[in-house]
Amino acid sequence: MSEPLPEGIKHLVTINPVEKAPKLTDEAKKELQSVGMMDEKGKLKLKGVSAKMLKRMKQEQVDCPVLKQEIAFVQCYVCRNFHSRVMGQVYCKGEPL
Query: Minimum distance between the CB of residue 88 and ligand SF4, rounded to whole angstroms?
Result: 13
Neighbours of 38 (CB within 10 A): 21
66 part of the interface to ligand SF4, by CB under 6 A: yes
Side chain identity at 62, as an amino acid letter?
A: V
* 15 is an interface residue for ligand SF4 by CB under 6 A: no
Quick one: CA torsion of 73, 77, 79, 80, rounded to 10 degrees?
150
Binding status of residue 21 toward ligand SF4 by CB under 6 A = no
The secondary element (H helix, E strand) that includes residue 62 is strand 60-64
23-31, 32-40, 48-56, 58-66 -> range binding ligand SF4 (CB under 6 A): 58-66
Taking the C-alpha atoms of residue 79 and residue 53, their distance in angstroms, rounded to an integer, is 18
Q: Which positions lie near ligand SF4, rule CB under 6 A?
A: 13, 62, 64, 66-67, 71, 76, 79, 81-82, 90, 92, 97
